[in-house]
């Protein structure tokens, strides 16, 4: 799903900002103005070059119009639009479009400027920190939501820790990420909706990135858009699908060789369409490998004689055929000796008289 800029007349020019803030917005006409102006004021107070990206996705109210008006008054605000409502797709589009060295995501009803300042200080002080998460469950955090939502969040965290090996205590909510290691992970994420950032954090851990947590205070500013039971069922199916995807990606690649050869490298046939497969080999005379010259022997030692030439297969066949012909040939008896041949030297007696 591609995102289109709502105000194409504002080009991305100038040096890259230090911080990019991504704000997904779906049916947020009542809260968007306050959220954007609050983030803009907080960034100016920090004194860092920044930009804000509002990603409107499939709103049925006036969210797109409100975002367009804000883009004309708030400096460094860009608005992207998606046709379908999808929180994960909105985050993906915002992360891809971000130009800052680090990127932060805020929900419209959960803007936390204290987290923004603390996470930026941590990133600056510790170059090895790649991801900073605002946790609702860590030490020092205060979760002021309803008991049911706290219970669901706790169950979700247990599933992620014991079923997926996740080490951090939270994945939803505000996050700050370094842009360079983030981009390849964003392209690897297959989940959408509420599980997009969960899979993103999980892949960050598995890729060896360092993930830190900062305790935050969370309180509801409005009722939940989706009934809690429907969200639990949706998350359960999404986690099952994610478990299968991660299992498939961890399996070793199958060998494409058709067989194994002993005592050497495997000989692979030329692939169809390759130069080796397209180029015919012209027939030529049978090559005869000359016998290697005997190595010179040390002084006083006669060199070993060269090995006798081994008969070829055709020569052996000729010898066998000749032997068979000899066996079939009938042997004739020797002629009887004549009487003159055994006379005692008659001629000599005649000439001797």
Structural domain boundaries in the chain: 1-111, 112-222+236-248
- Residue-wise pLDDT for 220-258, tens only, equals 777 777 778 888 888 888 888 888 888 777 776 554 444
Q: Is the pLDDT of residue 30 over 90?
A: yes
At 299, is the pLDDT very low, low, confident or very high (cuts 50, 70, 90)?
A: very low
- CB 71 within 8 Å of CB 56: no
Listed in order, strand segments (DSSP E) in 117-210 are 131-135, 142-143, 175-178
Closest by CA position to 178, among listed 241, 79, 98: 98
Helix residue ranges per DSSP H, 47-146: 63-71, 87-97, 113-125
Q: Is the pLDDT of residue 297 over 80?
A: no
Q: How far is CA 173 from CA 112, 167, 295, 327, in A?
A: 10, 17, 79, 99
- What is the reported pTM? 0.67
Q: Is the pLDDT of residue 277 over 60?
A: no
> Average pLDDT in the 70-74 region?
95
Closest by CA position to 82, among listed 108, 110, 104, 54: 54
Q: 3-state DSSP call for residue 177?
A: strand
End-to-end CA distance of the chain: 136
Q: How far is CA 50 from CA 19, 41, 77, 116, 329, in A?
A: 5, 11, 9, 12, 107
CATH architecture of the domain formed by 1-111: Alpha-Beta Complex (3.90)
Q: In this structure, what token pair is assigned to residue 11?
A: 């080009």
Q: Is the pLDDT of residue 348 over 70?
A: no
Question: Phi first, then psi: what are they for 180, rounded to 5°?
Answer: -60, -50
Mean of the per-residue pLDDT values of the chain: 77
Residue owning tokens 């052996």: 316
Query: 24 has which bridge partners?
Result: 55
Q: 3-state DSSP call for residue 198?
A: helix
Burial of 119 (0-12, 13-18, 19+ CB in 10 A): buried
Q: What is the pLDDT of residue 178?
A: 96
């Amino acid at each position: 799903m591609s995102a289109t800029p709502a105000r194409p007349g504002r080009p991305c020019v100038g040096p890259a900002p230090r911080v990019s803030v991504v704000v997904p917005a779906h049916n947020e006409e009542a809260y968007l103005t306050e959220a954007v102006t609050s983030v803009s004021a907080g960034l100016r107070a920090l004194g860092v070059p920044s930009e804000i990206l509002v990603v409107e996705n499939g709103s049925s109210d006036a969210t797109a119009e409100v975002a367009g008006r804000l883009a004309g008054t708030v400096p460094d605000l860009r608005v992207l639009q998606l046709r379908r409502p999808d929180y994960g797709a909105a985050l993906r589009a915002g992360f891809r479009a971000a130009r800052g060295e680090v990127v932060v995501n805020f929900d419209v009803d959960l803007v936390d400027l204290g987290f923004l300042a603390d996470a930026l200080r941590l990133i600056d002080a510790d170059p090895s920190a790649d991801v900073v998460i605002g946790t609702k469950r860590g030490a020092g955090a205060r979760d002021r939501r309803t008991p049911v939502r706290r219970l669901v969040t706790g169950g979700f965290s247990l599933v992620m820790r014991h079923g997926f090996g996740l080490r951090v205590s939270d994945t939803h909510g505000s996050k700050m990420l370094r842009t360079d290691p983030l981009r390849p992970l964003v392209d690897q994420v297959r989940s959408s909706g509420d599980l997009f950032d969960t899979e993103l954090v999980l892949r960050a851990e598995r890729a060896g990135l360092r993930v830190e947590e900062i305790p935050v205070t969370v309180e509801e500013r409005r009722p939940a858009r989706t009934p809690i039971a429907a969200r639990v069922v949706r998350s359960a199916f999404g986690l099952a699908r994610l478990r299968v995807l991660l299992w498939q990606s961890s399996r070793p690649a199958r060998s494409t060789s058709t067989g194994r050869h002993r005592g050497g490298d495997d000989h692979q046939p030329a692939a169809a369409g390759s130069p080796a497969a397209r180029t015919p080999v012209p027939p030529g005379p049978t090559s005869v490998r000359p016998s290697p010259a005997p190595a010179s022997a040390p002084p006083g030692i006669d060199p070993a004689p060269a090995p006798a030439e081994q008969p070829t297969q055709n020569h052996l066949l000729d010898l066998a055929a000749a032997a068979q012909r000899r066996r079939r040939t009938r042997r004739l008896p020797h002629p009887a000796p004549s009487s003159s041949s055994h006379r005692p030297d008659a001629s000599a007696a005649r000439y001797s008289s």
